[in-house]
Structure 1
Amino acid sequence: MAASSRSAREAKRRVQQMEAKRELRREQDKRRKRDNILATAGGAAVLALAIVLQLTVFAGNPTEDEFKAAEAGLKSPSASATPSASASNGQNIPKPETAAGKNFTGELALNRGTVGVELDGTKAPQAAAVFKSLADQNFYNGVNCHRLTTAESFGVLQCGSKSGDGNSDPAFTWGPLENTPADNKYPAGTIAVARTGGNAYGNGTQFFIVYKDTVIPADAAGGYTVVGKVTSGLDVVASIAAAGVKPGASATDGAPVEPVTIDSFSLK
């Protein structure tokens, strides 16, 4: 009886040990699967972050390299503008109704000469309202034009960064996009609004003057708002471009060799 009882206990212990090992293996399998899921999710998060960074790093209008890369893969412009963020201070942005149906004419007085301008409140009422308001506040007085591009089909002078280095003011962003070219073409004399890449509500205080026919591919949000045109003095901008850009990372994209400052911007 005693021997039989010991054998039974031993057999029971072996069964318990086997069950314990099986349970351990099940837990290990679950843990491996969980770790794999976390790793996959982590990879997806990294990829998403990379995409977000790629979209947000493109401020203003594109660099020459970004322009070439986009142009190479572009078959047609974006069908519509897709906002990726709301205006940061929408309550402080002038209402489009203040410019709707109106044309504003005036002068952009640079230290290199005067450029006559006209803003179109019919095609771009929100943009026209913003720039009329900024001009009336003398916002641009003393602000420089920090960027010049001189590539074959990409010729713009960009102005309006209060900091003077191309950074935008995060407290002054607005949208939506208006009057964007369906064919991505910006003829010489165009005045358009610079913005954060991929963001239809990334407009700010910066604008660019196109001094020769230019093609700028649309991005995820669309094109760039054409707010007006140069009516006289385009040769002033062309002469600034002829002097070239300061030596740097790109031979055709950088600060103008001859510093350009806005003395005043008047509209009526």
Structure 2
Amino acid sequence: MAQSAKQRRRELARQRHERQQARRAEQAKRRRTGGLAVAAVLAVAALVTGTLYFSGVFGGGDDTVAASSDSDPEATQAPEPGSCEYRASGTSAVPDLGTPAVPVDAATLPGTATLTLNGSPVTVQLDAAAPCTVNSLAHLASAGYFDGTTCHRLTTSESLKVLQCGDPTGTGSGGPGYEFDNENTDGATYPAGTVAMANSGADTNGSQFFLVYADSELPPNYTVFGQITTGLDVITGIAADGTDNGLEDGAPLHPVTLDTVTTAA
């Protein structure tokens, strides 16, 4: 008997999950047996490409943005409705946070978010192509997870211009105690106004995200979940002051506080 469309989707999802699990197992094996060799290869690759990747300058936790050469196009597509998986990972930077509710009902997800930086609002149109990410953002925002936290990282290089936020510890190593898969990365680009998830490799999204204030060059490894509609000038103003170390990558010269994050339909 021929499979129904629903059965076919489930079978494809099962196969995709098996591939992801196998890939993660292989990644763990490589980390255990060849960490130094992998680090050397990545260093050489960075020199060859000339691309500045996020690499955990402030502590290097699970949620810092990092280059990843591991890519599965099928794994980056939006999941079936309600199929989001939030896996335990590390310790939450905020006690008793819990995980986002599942299954996810796309019809009830928020459409906009407002990030208030040093008292100035930045409005973001959220992307329905990243439902698991938007669901996580709404969960964290409603819990007050972001309130009063520091945007700990500013990058001002020729090819990469971003402000990174979302870590209550302010170190670049904090996260919500869970991780989830990439979404909306197939063919992703990062022009000015893009809002995307930081990560430390494929399918390690947590709470850290970055705001692109000018066109930037990155491989399509970072989940795009929004576009800034108003307030981009707030971020360009922060970037104009540069970093506290005078280099192209560091903490903003003047502290940047993410006062609140709120979401709405």
TM-score, normalised relative to structure 1: 0.65
Cα distance in 1 between the residues matched to 2:210 and 2:156:
13
- Cα separation, 2, equivalents of 1:45 and 1:195: 16
Map of 1:187 onto structure 2:
191
User: In the TM superposition, what are the counterparts of 1:67-82 in structure 2 within 5 Å?
Assistant: 68-69=46-47, 71-72=49-50, 78-80=71-73
CA contact (8 A) 1:189 1:211 kept: yes
**Number of residue-to-residue matches in the alignment:** 203
Report the CA distance shift for 1:68/1:152 in structure 2 as closer, same or farther (over 3 A): farther
The amino acid across from 1:215 in the alignment is: E
1:238 to partner: Cα distance:
0.3
**Residue type matched to 1:80 in 2?**
P
Are the aligned partners of 2:75 and 2:182 in contact in 1 as well (CA < 8 Å)? Answer: no
For the 8 Å contact 1:172–1:205, the answer to whether it is kept is no
Opposite residue 177 of structure 1, the aligned amino acid is N
Q: CA deviation at 1:47?
A: 5.6
Contact 2:71 2:202 in 1 (8 A): no
Shift of 1:51: 4.6
Structure 1: 5+ residue stretches without partners = 1-43, 59-64
* 8 Å Cα contact 1:155-1:211 kept in structure 2: yes
Give the Å deviation of 1:77. 9.2
- Corresponding residue of 2:118: 111
Distance 1:101 1:225, change over 3 A: farther
Q: Deviations over 1:134-158 (max 9, x none)?
A: 1111111111100000011100000
Instruction: Give the whole-Å Cα distance in 2 for the aligned partners of 1:77 and 1:209.
Output: 23
Offset at residue 52 of structure 1 (A): 6.2
Q: Does 1:203 align with 2:205?
A: yes
Structure 1 residue 180, shift from structure 2 partner: 1.0
Structure 2: how far apart are the matches of 1:161 and 1:135? 13
What is the CA-CA distance between 1:102 and the residue it aligns to?
A: 4.2
CA distance in 1, matches of 2:110, 2:126: 6
CA distance in 2, matches of 1:118, 1:134: 17
Q: Work out the CA distance in 2 between the residues paired with 1:66 and 1:235.
A: 36
Of 211, 214, 218, the residue aligned with 1:212 is 214
Query: Shift of the alpha carbon at 1:80?
Result: 2.9
Question: Which runs of structure 2 are paired with 1:120-135 in the superposition (5 Å)?
Answer: 120=127, 122-135=128-141
Q: What does the per-residue CA deviation read over 1:192-241, in whole Å, with 9 as the maximum and x for residues that have no partner?
A: 01111x331x11111100001111125xxxx0000111110000000000
Structure 2: state its 5+ residue gaps. 1-29, 52-66, 77-85, 90-97
What code does the residue aligned with 2:243 have?
A: V
**Change in CA separation of 1:212 and 1:133 when aligned onto 2, cut-off 3 Å:** same
User: How far is the alpha carbon of 1:93 from its aligned partner?
Assistant: 3.5
- Contact (CA 8 Å) 1:185, 1:213: kept in 2 or not? no
**Could you say if the C-alpha distance between residues 50 and 124 of structure 1 is closer, same or farther in structure 2, counting changes exceeding 3 Å?**
same
Shift in CA distance, 136/252, structure 1 to aligned 2, threshold 3 Å:
same
Q: TM-score, normalised by structure 2?
A: 0.66
Cα distance in 2 for partners of 1:156, 1:112 equals 19
Looking at secondary structure, tell me which structure has more helix per residue: 1
Larger Rg: 1
Opposite residue 245 of structure 2, the aligned amino acid is: P
Map Cα deviations across residues 91-119 of structure 1 (whole Å, 9 max, x no partner).
Answer: 83333623467452131111152111121
SS of the aligned residue for 1:230 comes to: strand
